[in-house]
Amino acid sequence: MVRALPKNLKKHYLKSPVQQRKTMLEMRKRILQIIPSAEEVVSYGMPAFKYRGNIVAGLLSNKNHVGFYPFSGSVLHLFKKELIDFKHTKSAIHVPIDKPLSKTLLAKLIKARISQCPVKQGKVNLSKYEKIDGYWKSISIAAPARRGLIDNRILTLRDLKKISKQEFLKIHAMGPSAAKIITAEMRRKRVRFNGK
């Protein structure tokens, strides 16, 4: 069963013509089957999918096609054979209306994109975080947001008193889901941001 469309994304799908919308929603369903833990966000004005802090796919309605964007200019050239029947640029596939990309091809594209991400490449030392992110993990904050908090020396809810709400929202990987959980917890424990 496909999860409900997040409210902030509905308008991006609904403003698309019906045929493009059907193609986009089918591709959304397939993408979420491939990466069920992906966070749905808006990036560059399009519905996009964030995985472990990185955008790995985006969908955009166009007049004569639906654009699929891997959010990297170094993915599509790896799939010349698979994309032989598609028009494409360096960073987008022009998906024919009524012919969504197959789940198999989407999985290959997404896997290639994920392989380029800093965590997957070992550029982020996860063990450094695992020793000190226990509090954030205990309230179900996703790993990228936990890393962002720790990088800003915010290890507990009380540490949020040191910063403003605007500073909090600018923390790397602080998406709507993590922000909602944290602000609800702050209300519950009567902790407030710095009012400066």
- Same domain, yes or no: 69 and 96: yes
CA-CA distance, 124 to 67, in Å (whole number)?
Answer: 31
Residue 145: give its domain's CATH number.
Answer: 1.10.150
pLDDT for residue 86: 95
- Same domain, yes or no: 136 and 103: no
Q: Which two tokens stand for residue 30?
A: 């397939």
Q: How confident is the model at residue 58 (pLDDT cuts 50, 70, 90)?
A: very high
- Same domain, yes or no: 17 and 105: yes
How many domains does the chain divide into? 2
For residue 118, pLDDT beyond 60? no
- Give this prediction's pTM: 0.63
pLDDT for residue 126: 55
Residues 6+ apart with CB under 8 A from 165: 193
- Same domain, yes or no: 13 and 108: yes
Sheet with 87-88, side-by-side order of all strands: 39-43, 46-51, 54-61, 65-69, 93-96, 87-88
**Predicted confidence (pLDDT) per residue in 32-45, tens digit:** 999 998 999 998 88
pLDDT for residue 170: 86
Residue 176 domain flag: yes
